[in-house]
């Protein structure tokens, strides 16, 4: 038996376990010879080569069932097909991980950027956005509110709510001009248009915005809005559209209202 390996010897050589080799035996994937006298398992040199192929394919993430199917009908073109298929799967996984990293990087950048702007009023140019406003003002019935979101579910599939985890609310221009700062509605920013969307989205053109990032509970937003609107009036600007509230940290990200971070964005134009 000098030309054969005991199960423990083979396991050590390939840095695997005897339990793994016994599992392969049960699957008829790698069968040893068995000594009827002592019930020992013995593997020959060919088994060693076969195990190396099995473990190689396994490290590629190919399932044992696919490996078993291939080993029962080994052909070069089948191997080529299996490797190409796995390569395509890996490309998709890499793209998925790249997108996830981009989302995390964007969220980190948003947090860090927000911290540097806390309490400051700035004028920033924001690129064109498209989306819809959900008119929930005066809607007290939860069933009616549910129906509003259901009617616009096609937008949500492509929205920043889902893609970036960013929820936006809004105040109408007329309310801000009249000093009403507590009747918000939702804004769903959408990315590529869905052909099945119920209505065409609203285009928010590229524009200058008076921006202010604040920290604290929602109840403080009224005073922050008043501060921002007063600054617009005294700085030679006029309000030209509805506000956008970027809820960077809200009740779904923190249990403490003192940690809520909101960026107020009001579109403005210089008064001649």
Q: What is the tens place of the pLDDT at every residue in 162-213?
A: 666 678 899 999 999 999 998 888 888 886 554 455 566 788 999 999 999 9
- Per the CB < 8 A criterion, the answer to whether 208 and 125 are in contact is yes
- Mean pLDDT, residues 100-122: 87
Measured CA to CA, the distance from residue 242 to residue 129 in angstroms comes to 13
- Mean pLDDT, residues 5-34: 92
Measured CA to CA, the distance from residue 96 to residue 220 in angstroms comes to 39
**Could you tell me the two tokens for 210?**
């008076």
DSSP-assigned letter for residue 12: H
User: Could you tell me what percent of the chain has a pLDDT over 70?
Assistant: 91
- Per the CB < 8 A criterion, the answer to whether 217 and 257 are in contact is yes
- Per the CB < 8 A criterion, the answer to whether 15 and 58 are in contact is no
92-102: per-residue pLDDT in tens? 999 989 988 98
Residue 108 has pLDDT above 60, yes or no: yes
Identify the three-state secondary structure at position 72: coil
pTM: 0.67
Angle at 142 between CA 140 and CA 145, to 5 degrees: 85
Q: Spell out where the chain has E strands.
A: 5-6, 33-34, 41-43, 121-126, 129-134, 167-170, 185-189, 202-204, 207-215, 237-239, 244-249, 261-270
66-96: per-residue pLDDT in tens? 999 999 898 999 999 999 999 999 999 999 8
Residue 141 has pLDDT above 80, yes or no: no
Measured CA to CA, the distance from residue 266 to residue 212 in angstroms comes to 9
Q: Can you give the pLDDT at residue 1? A: 56
Query: What domains lie within the chain, and their CATH numbers?
Result: 5-74 (1.10.1660.10), 118-270 (3.20.80.10)
Measured CA to CA, the distance from residue 225 to residue 264 in angstroms comes to 8
Q: Considering only 19-23, 58-62, 87-91, 187-191, which range has the smallest mean pLDDT?
A: 187-191
Higher pLDDT, 235 or 102: 235
Q: Can you give the pLDDT at residue 200? A: 66
32-45: per-residue pLDDT in tens? 988 767 778 889 99
- Is the Cα torsion angle 249, 251, 254, 259 positive or negative in sign? positive
Higher pLDDT, 140 or 106: 106
The stretches of 120-248 forming alpha helices (DSSP H) are 142-151, 153-156, 160-163, 173-177, 221-234
- Per the CB < 8 A criterion, the answer to whether 42 and 35 are in contact is yes
Q: Can you give the pLDDT at residue 163? A: 64
Token look-up 């192929």 returns 53
- Per the CB < 8 A criterion, the answer to whether 27 and 67 are in contact is no
Angle at 143 between CA 141 and CA 149, to 5 degrees: 110
Higher pLDDT, 120 or 37: 120
């Amino acid at each position: 038996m000098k030309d054969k390996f005991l199960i423990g010897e083979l396991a050590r050589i390939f840095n695997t376990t005897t339990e793994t080799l016994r599992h392969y035996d049960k699957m008829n994937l790698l069968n040893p010879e068995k000594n009827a006298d002592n019930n020992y398992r013995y593997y020959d040199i060919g088994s060693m080569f076969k195990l190396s192929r099995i473990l190689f394919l396994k490290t590629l993430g190919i399932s044992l069932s696919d490996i078993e199917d291939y080993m029962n009908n080994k052909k070069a073109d089948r191997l080529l097909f299996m490797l190409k298929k796995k390569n395509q799967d890996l490309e998709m996984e890499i793209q998925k991980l790249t997108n996830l990293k981009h989302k995390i990087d964007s969220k980190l950048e948003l947090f860090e950027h927000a911290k540097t702007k806390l309490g400051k009023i700035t004028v920033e140019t924001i690129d064109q956005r498209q989306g819809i406003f959900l008119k929930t003002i005066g809607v007290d019935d939860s069933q009616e509110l549910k129906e509003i979101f259901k009617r616009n579910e096609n937008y949500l599939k492509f929205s920043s709510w889902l893609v970036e985890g960013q929820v936006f609310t809004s105040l109408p221009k007329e309310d801000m001009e009249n000093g009403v700062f507590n009747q918000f509605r939702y804004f769903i920013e959408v990315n590529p248009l869905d052909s099945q969307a119920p209505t065409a989205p609203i285009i928010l053109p590229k524009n200058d915005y008076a921006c202010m990032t604040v920290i604290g509970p929602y109840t403080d937003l009224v005073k922050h809005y008043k501060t921002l609107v007063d600054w617009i009036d005294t700085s030679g600007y006029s309000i030209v559209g509805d506000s956008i509230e970027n809820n960077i940290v809200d009740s779904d990200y923190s249990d403490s209202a003192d940690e809520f971070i909101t960026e107020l964005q009001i579109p403005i134009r210089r008064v001649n």
